[in-house]
Chain A
């Protein structure tokens, strides 16, 4: 049982996301994260889904996805060398003074950007793999994480394009 990153190239049409997500819910497949957006071809979208399961389970997920008429191609990114990233925005309680400078130091260590400064808060933008985001969140917890939003993982194979 390990997480698989599945990249799904779909027709850029209304209702496609609903077909994909509906398939996952009715067949009982658990989505760990899902990210969707337009891609290099204007009439297609790319959905990146992280799903956990054994090999037989993942095989079924891929085959069932392939049955959807609007699904053009599926690649299990995790099968080959790949890069993956996730972006998170974290709003942290940071009183002026020493808490604020401590939060800024943590941000610096993680190469997070501070994109908003409020009277009592800071908003951090962090990019990385899921573990990195998990790590910074853990460190920021004691200061008070007020809101957190993550994009879900997106990924590509290294080298020549594969999901075409």
Chain B
């Protein structure tokens, strides 16, 4: 005889789970009792929201399914923004929640919440397990759904009596799940691939637009290879950063609202747009009718629902990015540069419209990110919060590899970065993990300093502190005549707070101390917090105002003589 909780632990181990991020409570006591002697690592966070963000960070850094655990009612409800984050960015997460005993379901029992009902729109799928013998097959299904096709979060709700209920070993359903309604298409249609190759050979101004799907599929190598075979310039979304090295000659950096000028000009000027694992999000496209309006569109995506959702597509290819790109490379009959004049044009845009860097002796955030990139030689794992800090990091860090950049893209969840960095470290403990935060977002999950201290997690926390909710302030400055309504946040002694948790830290007020501070933090054996007091009203530029065409940017940069991008 085995208890439901014991079956759960066994099932998790069978799925290859090494670590769970969680927070105990009444309904999950049977699980915690099993964890007490199970050979399965559990990290105690300080808020359930941090548990799911950490599981998500672990998933993004490793490519494996991240697991979190919370109790019923408030515990489960605290997972909501994390589930929505994971759902928007298509990351593989399995969330386990406790639930009141089945006999009390629907009875408004203590700490009851209808979590499967609540999370239906923000999960890929969810389950309420009604019998201990179904735990094994449900966990198997959950991991399969989360980590295949277009990845996403799956929640498994476990009533307490299901966890305590005992079933004979022979009664446990160990069959392979049969999911009649879930058959992801992985292989692209050869005829469509042929068509796409022909279009590439015929194009005069081709451009690849790569998204997070390339990272998830592990298709970066193939992407770069395809780009090189045909000399195709590449722009990536926020989620696609790292799919091609930042300093690759064909890379134009990020496109969209805070994309580079040259990437946005390239999109507006291209005659063929090859979208790979991207979803034409409004932050990318700006005004839809002006987005790549002269271009034929090839759209490669694993999710058929993304194709034709926002823009009409000329050559749709449903499939896994790695499989489709591999087939494209394999099926290419002729290769070569068919677009030399276009490449020259793109190069000229790149030279004449670099990203803004100001060298006036003041402490600017762009300089901090560039220094960090230089010191780490474009290595490490950079985990951002949300807002200006995120955009500066995305624009100025020089990435080399996929899964090096972890950021909440679709949902834009403040408070995501710090706990996600904790998860990332457990996935890649050999890497330098850096959190780029703002003073606003860092305070949304600041309690995780306790987790970092407890497990001595050597994350390096960089706060770009402007004592504002910077991105909102920027919008207020530009679109609300500088009425800074509730965006100012008085100074906080972050170093003092870190020290109270037993974590080292340093405040930096001048540009001369940037490099030394970064080196101190990176070389320090353990967590370290750096509180950079940056120029308070620095903006993220260039910027496409909401609803404008992406070629209509404000805050364009006129470079000084000799300035290099």
Contact = CB atoms under 8 A, between A and B. Distances in A.
- Which of B145, B305, B309, B312 has the most C-beta atoms of chain A within 10 angstroms of its own C-beta? B305
Contact of B305 (A22, A56, A67): A67
A63 interface: yes
A67 B393 CA distance: 34
Interface stretch (A28-36, A69-77, A103-111, A122-130): A69-77
- By secondary structure, the A interface counts as helix
Contact of A69 (B182, B304, B309): B182
A56 B182 contact: no
A19 interface: yes
Contacts of B334: none
B121 A66 contact: no
Nearest to A44: B180
Question: What is the interface residue range for chain A against chain B?
Answer: 20 to 34
- Which of B116, B180, B308 has the most C-beta atoms of chain A within 10 angstroms of its own C-beta? B180
B458 to A, nearest CB: 39
A72 B120 contact: no
B330 interface: no
Contacts of A66: 304-305
A67 to B, nearest CB: 6
B121 A26 contact: yes
Contacts of A68: 181
B180 A72 contact: yes
B181 A69 contact: yes
A142 interface: no
B16 interface: no
Nearest to B306: A63
B180 A60 contact: no
Contacts of B128: 14-15
Nearest to B182: A69
A59 interface: yes
B411 to A, nearest CB: 15
B309 A60 contact: yes
A50 B95 CA distance: 35
A18 interface: yes
B120 A69 contact: no
Interface string B139-170: 00000010000000000000000000000000
B304 A22 contact: no
A18 B120 contact: yes
A59 B179 CA distance: 23
A10 B303 CA distance: 20
Given A18-B117, A23-B121, 13 more contacts: A11-B181, A15-B117, A15-B120, A22-B120, A56-B308, A60-B305, A66-B305, A67-B303, A67-B305, A68-B181, A69-B125, A69-B145, A71-B181
Interface of A: 10-11, 14-15, 18-19, 22-23, 26, 56, 59-60, 63-64, 66-73
16 contacts: A10-B181, A11-B181, A14-B128, A18-B117, A19-B120, A23-B121, A56-B312, A60-B309, A63-B304, A63-B309, A64-B305, A67-B303, A69-B124, A69-B145, A69-B179, A69-B181
